[in-house]
Structure 1
Amino acid sequence: MRFKKPKVTDIIFLIVVAVLIIPKTRKPIQVFVNKAVAAVISPSKIQEEKQEAISTYDWRLKDSQGKNFNFEQTKGKIVLVNFWATWCPPCIAEMPSLQELYNDYQDKIEFVFVSSEPFKDINSFIEKNKYNFKVYKPVSNYNEIFKVNGIPRTFLIDKKGKIVIDKTGAANWNSEKVRNTINELIQQ
């Protein structure tokens, strides 16, 4: 029995399959793919008549220093709430764009990054990636309007408490479209 000489495409296919099977290479590949997808996805504004309002701001969180934060403090402000995890490839993929947005808007809007992981893991991730935003862990249940079934899940809320953007999955939060939306909300 004679074997055919393998084609280059067959070899590449086998390498890709092998790389995806090996656990240590799977996550970086997923992050890379999600970054490519996120680069072209800019969250869209919800049509005004379909925007839901937050019914209550009663939600308690805690930062890595053990300081309590009541979401009530954000009432009347523009708020970006991001639910994420350090193990989540789409979350990791969108974090650089969120950091860039945070760098430019941290004193204009409130950023509330929420993760349920141990602060040991969160702080290690934040430090390793040189992010400088504060992360909170929930102490009480979040408002039902958030309906977080998957992460990353990000909400942009206006001063009146209406959800202007609601996006599940990786996205480019530093896009001109998002910045224009935030700038409009600031001017209102």
Structure 2
Amino acid sequence: MKRMNYCSILICILFWASVGRAQNSITKKQQLKYLPDIDVYDIHGKHTTLKQLGKNKVLFIDSWFIPCPPCFIEMGMLHKLYAKYLNNKDFCFITLCRTDSGVVKKFIAQDTSMANYVKSYQFFSERQDFKLPVYFIEGCDSKVNHVGKQLESFAPTDKTKCPDAQLDFVGYPTVTIFNKKGELILQKTGYDGNENVNMGDIESAIKPSLAAK
């Protein structure tokens, strides 16, 4: 990993702790069973629904926000998974972000106003770029801002619209996978940095589903 200012790392970690719960492992009673019909829009503002994205496909959803260190750490693995299945017509890979789309656009473009977040992402993910497809839910538009060395956070317009509320989980990052019938086959919260184990868990779920008619 490249070195970065430890003050910036500390700020990100403290901020993450204050605006969202991102744990290495969470155990909770699972309520979600089927793919909900949620309206989403992509980075360009084009609207669709999760059911449309997942129609006759295995739908992989990773939920995250800026700046969430565990989410950023997971991004290295996610880029490898995305590249591996990019050309599989039976697989749809998306991320759902609870951060405002305007903020995320600047983040992906590495706008100078997002320098602290970009440095944090590059440090934790060990990547210089961000190539994953990002979708958003209307009303779930949390904003972040730097004022000197301080971070200000703004609650989303409607917390009930955010991925954790609609996909029934309690921390970020969370991977949620549905099979071609729209049935939940895996939901896993947190990322402990063990790429091989996490990739193995994901592929153990999606490979049989991809093979199913």
Question: Under a length normalisation based on structure 2, what TM-score does the superposition of the two structures give?
Answer: 0.59
Q: Kindly tell me: are residues 120 and 182 of structure 1, through their superposed partners in 2, closer, same or farther at Cα, counting changes over 3 Å?
A: same
How far apart are residue 178 of structure 1 and its match?
2.5
Equivalent positions of 1:33-52 (< 5 A) are: none
CA deviations on 1:103-150 (whole Å, 9 max, x unpaired) are 111232111211121223323333444222211110274696621321
Q: Which structure: larger Rg?
A: 1
Give the equivalent residue in structure 1 for 2:133.
134
What CA distance in whole angstroms lies between the structure 2 residues aligned with 1:120 and 1:61?
15
CA contact (8 A) 1:58 1:143 kept: no
* Structure 1: tracts of 5 or more residues without a match: 1-21, 31-36, 42-49
Equivalent positions of 1:63-142 (< 5 A) are: 63-73=42-52, 74-108=54-88, 109-128=91-110, 129-139=128-138, 141=161
Q: Percent identity?
A: 23
What CA distance in whole angstroms lies between the structure 1 residues aligned with 2:67 and 2:33?
31
Question: Under a length normalisation based on structure 1, what TM-score does the superposition of the two structures give?
Answer: 0.66
What CA distance in whole angstroms lies between the structure 2 residues aligned with 1:144 and 1:94?
21
Give the equivalent residue in structure 2 for 1:178.
202
Amino acid at match of 1:182: I
Higher mean alpha-carbon deviation, 143-152 vs 161-170, is at 143-152
CA contact (8 A) 1:79 1:158 kept: yes
How far apart are residue 181 of structure 1 and its match?
3.0
Q: Kindly tell me: are residues 182 and 114 of structure 1, through their superposed partners in 2, closer, same or farther at Cα, counting changes over 3 Å?
A: same
Computed over aligned residues only, the root mean square deviation of the Cα atoms, in angstroms, reads 3.3
What CA distance in whole angstroms lies between the structure 1 residues aligned with 2:83 and 2:203?
12
What CA distance in whole angstroms lies between the structure 1 residues aligned with 2:205 and 2:37?
26
CA contact (8 A) 1:157 1:163 kept: yes
Give the equivalent residue in structure 1 for 2:184.
163
Say which SS state the counterpart of residue 41 (structure 2) adopts.
strand
* Structure 2: tracts of 5 or more residues without a match: 1-5, 15-22, 111-127, 140-160
Greater strand fraction, Structure 1 or Structure 2: 2
CA deviations on 1:9-44 (whole Å, 9 max, x unpaired) are xxxxxxxxxxxxx642426789xxxxxx98xx9xxx
How far apart are residue 156 of structure 1 and its match?
1.3
Give the equivalent residue in structure 2 for 1:11.
none
CA contact (8 A) 1:59 1:70 kept: yes
Amino acid at match of 2:173: P
2:23 aligned with 1:24:
no
What CA distance in whole angstroms lies between the structure 1 residues aligned with 2:37 and 2:164?
7
